[in-house]
Structure 1
Amino acid sequence: MTERALLERELWRILETVHAVVYFVPEAKAAYGALGLRGYWMGYFASRSAALGTPSPRLVTALFYGFAPRMVERALPDAWAFADRTRVLETRLELARSALARHAGAGLGDTADLLTSVLARLDVAGRPLAAAHLDVPAPAEPLSRIWHAATVLREYRGDGHVAELVAARVDGVECHRLHGGSLVGQQREFRGWTEEEWADAGGRLRARGLLDDAGENTHRGQELRAEIEQGTDRSAAVALRTLDDAQLGVLRDALGPVAGALAAAGAVPYPNAMGVARPA
């Protein structure tokens, strides 16, 4: 990888951590519960999808990828009868601002401005979740703006990752088997797949020569996983092309300590169900 590509990957991990506080901070479940949302997963699906309006379970399953349809259906559309989507978005933003305020220093206004400049020139064609979050009005307060920008960019990269998975013919359950790692077994439960669906996915991947009989990636499986990650990186890099290397370094140096503090405090635990590496 080039030095710039390494810097970009480091920044993506940082932005992922900044974005993810709204799912993992201890107060999140209670905050969403106060709106009428029932349980952790209803809060997750409603808060992440509210930028789309009040979407159906089919749409959310399609866009989020990796979740069993029945898991999404347990949360949606009931969530929209229990909670106003505008209040869901407001609560999500307040959770983010509060969490970042506990772990960020002062003087991040320039960082917020630099991230906002990326959004101003962002082409979201083919990126539905990024487009939906970009349509949510950007807040004025710097930490809230940083979280908003991190969220748009995180979903931008995620949209591209889904496109790579689809192109590679790796479906929503197979992607977890192929990803591997210490949480691969737990991902079945996290994402709502049955043991039969999990086993069938393994069988399909073995038939393609991507998993061995022990359930580990074959050499070809490792290659395909690397190709998917590299394709995701190349696709995501388009979002950052308006920044030069020095500006990328500024963002890394400003937000890296924030992400590190969030991880160290457990505001975003590692490993986690997202499967993203801890920020360096």
Structure 2
Amino acid sequence: MASTARRMWTRFEPVHDVTYFAPEALAAADAIGMRGFWMGYVALRAAPLGAVGPAIATAAFHGFHPSRLERALPSAWDVADPTRALAARLEGVDAALRAVWGADVVESPQVTEAADLAWAAATAADTAGRVLAAANQALPRPDAPHLALWQATTTLREHRGDGHIAVLVARGISPLASHLIKVAADESDPTALQLGRRFTDDAWQAGLDDLRVAGVVDTDGRLTDTGRTLHDDVEAATDDAAEAPWQTLGPDATARLAELLTPLAAAVARSGMIPEPNPVGIVGLT
């Protein structure tokens, strides 16, 4: 049976992900002058950290070749400073959630209740050593409940991501190797992941060769028994590191939040905006 942290992730991650995939969110980044998807992605995700350079953002994001972020930073801050980027982020999410959920749902008491519960969980998230989680947790609560809900899911998402990075680092798994393991586990599309994270063909192949030598993948690029054990260990440790907010929130409130998030996440999935397979690793969106 999946852990509480994993079950909650599958419910809050799709809500958070509108900021990456919704056309309304992309339009909001374009409206402030961001040049293309990746400049908008990098600037809006990094904005809670302040006007950081590419080295800091690359370290915080973990999964990208440095050249991907160097193409966006620091030039993005000449287009729009972090405060304006954060405002655009919320503007895009507002439009996206209204389009996906509709006004009746956005303004419903269920969304308000979900926002309160998710905010309590996000506030309870331990952020020691978790830079992106801490930066998002420090942002003020938006007045609109659907935006407060989204901001809470963002803090929780970055909290889980920061913990996942710590697990990878502790096991000596590089950003490239982590992607190759994800692909070998059928959790993401190799072409989209390689191009998006900006790894060259030679680097991708060299990383795959290294994993074959280590016995993690076989000659077809699939996980071996050793690789499956490693993958499962990483995922279990990631779940363990993400449990604290739900332990603090308590089982009854957590179960109620899961109940409230389920139809909201399903609506995002039905919209078709999140591809399958996708770079965030959620499998079997319904």
Q: Specify the alignment match of 2:220 in structure 1.
A: 214
Matched position secondary structure for 1:27: helix
Residue range with higher mean Cα deviation, 149-158 or 58-67? 58-67
Matched position secondary structure for 2:51: coil
Residue 150 (1) aligns with residue 124 (2): no
What is the deviation of 1:135? 1.2
Q: Specify the alignment match of 2:17 in structure 1.
A: 20
The answer to whether the 8 A contact 2:133-2:162 is kept is: yes
Provide, for residues 31-76 of structure 1, a one-character-per-residue CA deviation record: whole Å limited to 9, x for no partner: 2122111000000000000000011111111111111111111111
Supply the distance in 1 between the matched residues of 2:27 and 2:94 (Cα, whole angstroms).
16
Q: Give the CA RMSD over aligned residues.
A: 1.5
Q: Specify the alignment match of 1:189 in structure 2.
A: 195
What is the deviation of 1:160? 0.4
Aligned pairs for 1:121-200 (under 5 A) are 121-180=124-183, 181=186, 183-200=189-206
What is the deviation of 1:128? 0.6
Which ranges of structure 1 fall in alignment gaps of 5 or more residues? Answer: none
Opposite residue 179 of structure 2, the aligned amino acid is: H
Q: Specify the alignment match of 2:57 in structure 1.
A: 60
Supply the distance in 2 between the matched residues of 1:197 and 1:39 (Cα, whole angstroms).
25
User: Which has the higher relative contact order, 1 or 2, with Cα contacts under 8 A spaced 6 or more apart?
Assistant: 1
What is the deviation of 1:266? 2.0
Q: TM-score under structure 2 normalisation?
A: 0.92
Q: Specify the alignment match of 1:45 in structure 2.
A: 42
The answer to whether the 8 A contact 1:8-1:248 is kept is: no
**Identity rate, percent:** 40
Q: TM-score under structure 1 normalisation?
A: 0.94
The answer to whether the 8 A contact 1:263-1:278 is kept is: no
* Partner of residue 246 from structure 1, selected from 217, 229, 252: 252
Q: Specify the alignment match of 1:36 in structure 2.
A: 33
* Misfit runs of 4+, over 6 Å: none
Supply the distance in 1 between the matched residues of 2:10 and 2:190 (Cα, whole angstroms).
20
Opposite residue 258 of structure 1, the aligned amino acid is: L
Supply the distance in 2 between the matched residues of 1:119 and 1:275 (Cα, whole angstroms).
21
